[in-house]
A = this chain, B = another copy of it.
């Protein structure tokens, strides 16, 4: 095999992997959006076959030989090729440590778990989901043991979602947040509450759909390559490459802002994914590098831009056209309402200030279950206890408690901290962006192009070419620093509540 042939085979291999990702991703997406409710077992059979084929492709002798050959010729490879080989070898060496039957069984388990979780949430029935969640945690512990026997299993998964992350970093980060956020929330609670009355009113689904499409257009997504659907739990996914991106949302008939900010959030993910340089398509470098950087983009658009005075002021007249009841309110009412601080039950609808406490609760619970200090059976009770302790709210049922998120049923143990990290990264990026972009001027005019251009130039185009820490260093010259984030939140509270 010559080096040129090997380089070509490297691209063919990744194209095949992308095809399997496309097929399996679409089957899951279909299950969460369009498929009839009784078809999960049928999807499970197909996913089992495809994941077995994918496993064989990834860990097959030919693949390993190819990658080891290319790795031995590292100095002859481009920067991109080097990173492809590194990421592929890393993944393969992990996969090789997981027996194929167990890998396939896990895919089937996740397929079943999604279905069971959806029903459990609908029926407020944690007991039906418990045995599957127990298996998911157990499998995550077992797989971590296979892949990194010397590492703590939860540290292993934290690092998987965010290269470089471990419990120590998380503990330090969350401690810093807690120290300044808890007193801040207390001070806010002592002030008169702002009204969110303008968020509640008749919002017909077709008008909300029109708003979703409007937001896609304003934010600069290309409808030829980005689709919209509805689902129980909103998510964003690429199918095959960043040339086919899907955003989903969930409409509430009496509160348009719920879907609106969810759409802006998911659109942030979609902008990052579709912003990959086109020559990264059909390679492992296509799309975002880590969950932390991904969430830094989604929460950047959702909160730092979406809840800003400039953007809400720009959008409000259009909202009044779509939802006529808003004509009795002002843009300032709307700005205050979407920045109201109020401890609550649902993470995805939490305000910016209390949001990280929701994440912390999940982090703490995951950490303890993974360490064997807490049983899955006791999760609902502990969930309720911590919501009372940290947020002072009573969780009336598991539907609004432990069953609210899709992450655990999807097998994503160790993902949650990325939401908090991403929120902090985003503020650091915004500070840097302001040095060269008139962000507020752009938002007030509904002109996202200069903002997107900056993100594309500094972050999106690279896909997974650089590690999260490398991107931070390249863009900011520093790593994670919660100070900027905390100052941002304190300023927001000062503006809204005068504290």
Using a CB–CB cutoff of 8 Å, the interface residues on chain A facing chain B are 15-16, 18-20, 22-24, 26-27, 30, 33-39, 41-43, 45-46, 48-50, 53, 222-227, 229, 239-241, 243-245, 282
Docked-complex contact B36 and A282, CB < 8 angstroms: no
Tell me the bound Cα distance from A378 to B340 in angstroms: 68
Tell me the bound Cα distance from A22 to B227 in angstroms: 21
Docked-complex contact B282 and A38, CB < 8 angstroms: no
Q: Which residue of B lies closest to A27 (CB)?
A: B26
Min CB distance, A274 to chain B, in Å? Answer: 11
Docked-complex contact A37 and B243, CB < 8 angstroms: no
Docked-complex contact B27 and A23, CB < 8 angstroms: yes
Tell me the bound Cα distance from A245 to B227 in angstroms: 23
Residues in chain B near residue A245, CB distance under 8 A: 36
Min CB distance, A133 to chain B, in Å? Answer: 24
Min CB distance, A241 to chain B, in Å? Answer: 6
Tell me the bound Cα distance from A23 to B29 in angstroms: 12
Docked-complex contact A38 and B243, CB < 8 angstroms: yes
Docked-complex contact B223 and A39, CB < 8 angstroms: no
Docked-complex contact A282 and B45, CB < 8 angstroms: yes
Docked-complex contact A49 and B19, CB < 8 angstroms: yes
Q: Which residue of B lies closest to A245 (CB)?
A: B36
Docked-complex contact A224 and B282, CB < 8 angstroms: no
Tell me the bound Cα distance from A241 to B44 in angstroms: 12
Q: Which residue of B lies closest to A24 (CB)?
A: B23
Residues in chain B near residue A36, CB distance under 8 A: 223-227, 244-245
Tell me the bound Cα distance from A46 to B34 in angstroms: 21
8 Å CB contact of A224 from B38, B46, B53: B38
A-B interface, 6 closest residue pairs, ranked by CB to CB distance from nearest: A38-B224, A19-B49, A23-B23, A39-B244, A36-B227, A22-B46
Q: Which residue of B lies closest to A229 (CB)?
A: B34
Other A-B contacts than A19-B46, A23-B26, A38-B224, 7 sampled, CB-CB below 8 A, are A19-B48, A19-B49, A23-B24, A35-B227, A36-B244, A38-B243, A53-B53
Tell me the bound Cα distance from A48 to B45 in angstroms: 22
Residues in chain B near residue A41, CB distance under 8 A: 243
Docked-complex contact A42 and B243, CB < 8 angstroms: yes
Knowing A26-B26, A36-B225 touch, does A241 contact B42 (C-beta < 8 A)?
yes
Min CB distance, A315 to chain B, in Å? Answer: 24
Residues in chain B near residue A46, CB distance under 8 A: 18-19, 22-23, 240
Tell me the bound Cα distance from A20 to B245 in angstroms: 22
A35, A49, A225 interface centre (most CB from chain B within 10 Å):
A49
Min CB distance, A373 to chain B, in Å? Answer: 40
Min CB distance, A54 to chain B, in Å? Answer: 11
Tell me the bound Cα distance from A16 to B51 in angstroms: 11
8 Å CB contact of A42 from B24, B35, B239: B239
Q: Which residue of B lies closest to A227 (CB)?
A: B36
A18, A24, A30, A46 interface centre (most CB from chain B within 10 Å):
A46
Tell me the bound Cα distance from A304 to B19 in angstroms: 44
Residues in chain B near residue A20, CB distance under 8 A: 49
Docked-complex contact B49 and A16, CB < 8 angstroms: yes
Docked-complex contact B240 and A43, CB < 8 angstroms: yes
Min CB distance, A310 to chain B, in Å? Answer: 30
Residues in chain B near residue A42, CB distance under 8 A: 22, 239-241, 243-244
The 24 sampled A-B contact pairs (Cβ below 8 Å) are A18-B45, A18-B46, A19-B45, A19-B48, A19-B49, A22-B27, A22-B42, A22-B46, A23-B23, A23-B24, A23-B26, A23-B27, A26-B26, A33-B34, A35-B244, A36-B223, A36-B225, A36-B245, A37-B223, A39-B224, A39-B239, A42-B239, A43-B244, A45-B241
